[in-house]
Structure 1
Amino acid sequence: MESGLMRRRAATLVLVLTAALLPATPAAAASIPADLAHIGNARQLIVVTAPGWSSTRATLRAYQRGGDGRWRQVFKAMAARTGYGGWAWANRRVQDTGQTPVGTFTITRAFGVRPDPGTRLPYREVDGNDYWVGDRRDPRTYNLFQPSASPNRTWRISQAERLAAYPTQYAYAAVINFNRPSGVRWDAKRGEYVAGKPAHVGRGSAIFLHASGKGATAGCVSVSRSNMVRLLKWLNPAKRPRIVMGPSKVITRA
C-alpha cells in the first residue's frame, strides 16, 4: 500500500508541475472582466494591460458578454503601444507628460482621416479644418473637437492637434472618454462644439485608441491599423463599450 500511495503522490506531483508550466489558455484570460471594478453595464470591454508603470508596450484584449452573462474573448491578444512617459492614475495625470491614464473609460465615438470602415459608432471623416483642442487658456473648449473655421474661435491653433496632420496614427481612431467635458453639443450659431461642464484643464486631452505609428504614443493606446479596423467594426454603442487600462498589478482597481 505504501508503494502504491507513493506512486499516486508522484503522479499527482507530475500533473501539478505540468499544469504550472503550461501557458495560460484563452479560457483563463477570459476570466479577467469578472475581476474588474468599474465595468458597470458594459457588454463590450477592451482591456489593456502593461507589465509595469514605466512600460510603453502593452497587450490589448477584447471581450464581449453574451446572453448567458459570460465574458468571452473575441480576438487574439493584440500588441499595443502606450505613452512614452509610462502610466499615471487618471486623476493624477498632467498634460504633456506622455503618460497613459490608468482607469476605466467609455468609448462613444470614432473618427479618422480615412473613410468610415464600417463602425457602428458615430464616425467623422476628418479633414484639414478639424482640430482637437488642448489650450489651457481656453477651458470652454478644452478636450473638445473643434473646426478651425468657427467664426467665434477663442482657442489657439498652436495649442490644438490638427487631426489630418497624423494620417498614419489617425487613419482610424476611437475617442477614449478620459477627462472629457460633459453635455457636449453642436452650437450652430457659434459654429463650434460647446460643453455643459468643462474638462479638468491641465489633466490632458486627446487620448485616443488609434492606429500605431513608429513607436510609443503621447499618452494614447495604439494597435496595428488592421487591428484598429477590426475593433471599430466590432464596437457597438448599444453594448455600452468601455476600455480598462493600466499596469497588470493594478488593472482590477483601474
Structure 2
Amino acid sequence: MSVRTVRGGSRLAAALLATGLLLTGCAGGGDGVRDAGRAETADKAGTGSRPASGSAASANGADKGGGAGTGGSAPLEARGADAREIPGLGPETRAQIPDDSRQAVVVTGINRDSNLASVVVHERDPVSGWAPVTDTWPAHNALEGWTDDHNQGDLRSPIGVYGLTDAGGRLADPGSRLPYDQGPAFSVSGTGFEGEPLEGSFDYVVAINYNRVPGTTPLDWTRPLGDDKGGGIWIHVDHGGPTQACVSVPVDRMKELLRTLDPAKKPVVVMGDADSLAL
C-alpha cells in the first residue's frame, strides 16, 4: 500500500483553502464543490484519448506511461482468436488503452445525454485477455451526459481513456494501493442538482487523469491545458444525483475500487456513453 502522508496534502489543501481556491465541487450544483474544487492537474502530455478535432486535447496528444493517453491495442500474446475483449468496446476505444495497462475501470453511460451509468472493473491476462473482476456497479456521471470536447462548466463528463494514479479522501485510507492523501480539505457540504446532500461525497476519491499532472494529490490544481478545459474530475462517493463532470459510485464500491486498483497494473478508466465506447 502506497500512502502519501497527510502532512504534504494537508499543507497544500490549507494553502488553497486560505486563498479561497478550494471551491465546493465536481459533485453537484449550487453549494457543491465545482469540478471537484478544481482539485486536479492534468496529464503532462495531454488529457486523454479521443480528443475532439481542433481541441486543446487533440493538440497535445497523450502519454502512454501516464495512462491518460491514446495507448495502443492489446499485447500480441492477447490478440489470438480466443483472447477476450472487454464487452461493449469497439476497436477505436480498445486501441486507446495503453499496451501496458492491465486494469480498466469501464464506465458506460446509458446514452449521450444521460447522467446514469454502470461501472465494471476488468483485468487483462497476457494470454487469455480481459475479464471482469467485479460485478456491475450503479453510477452517476455529469448532469447533461457526455462529451468528447469537455469544457469548464458544460456539465458533461469527458469521453476517453485516462490514467488512474492518485487517490485521497476525507476519511482514513481503507487500503488503497495508489498513493492516498487524507485531509479535511476533502470535506464538502451543500446540495446537489436534485436537492440531495453532498456531505461525504469526497470521503474517498480517485483522481481521473484528465487535465491534471499524474503523481500528485487529487487536490493539486495545476491544469496543463488551461482552466477553460475543466478539471478536478474524480471517481468519488455517490450522493444520489448527477455530478458536474465526475463519476460517482456507492461508498462500499469506492472502498472496493481503492483496494483493487494496482499501480503495477497501470490502471485506466475507460469512460463514455455506450454508443461512443462501441466505436
- TM-score (normalised: structure 1): 0.66
1:142 match: none
2:108 match: 49
Q: Give the Cα separation in 1 of the matches to 2:173 and 2:216.
A: 22
1:126 match: 183
- Assess, with a 3 A threshold, how the Cα gap between structure 1 residues 214 and 76 changes in structure 2: closer, same or farther: same
Letter in 1 for 2:163: T
Matches within 5 A, 1:54-69: 54-69=113-128
Indicate yes or no: 2:257 matched with 1:225. no
- Assess, with a 3 A threshold, how the Cα gap between structure 1 residues 222 and 68 changes in structure 2: closer, same or farther: same
Letter in 2 for 1:93: H
Cα offset for 1:199? 3.1
2:188 match: 165
Letter in 2 for 1:201: D
More strand, by proportion: 1
- TM-score (normalised: structure 2): 0.60
Indicate yes or no: 2:162 matched with 1:105. yes
Q: Percent identity?
A: 30
Q: Which has the higher contact order (CA 8 A, sep 6+)?
A: 2
Cα offset for 1:241? 0.2
Q: CA RMSD in A?
A: 2.6
Indicate yes or no: 2:234 matched with 1:177. no
In the alignment, structure 2 segments of 5+ residues that lack a partner are: 1-82, 190-198
Indicate yes or no: 2:234 matched with 1:208. yes
- Assess, with a 3 A threshold, how the Cα gap between structure 1 residues 194 and 104 changes in structure 2: closer, same or farther: closer
Aligned length: 184
Q: Give the Cα separation in 2 of the matches to 1:66 and 1:83.
A: 32
Give the one of 120, 138, 151 matched to 1:94: 151
2:194 match: none
Matches within 5 A, 1:189-200: 198-200=224-226
Indicate yes or no: 2:234 matched with 1:234. no
Cα offset for 1:28? 8.4
Letter in 2 for 1:37: A
In the alignment, structure 1 segments of 5+ residues that lack a partner are: 1-26, 131-162, 186-191
More helix, by proportion: 1
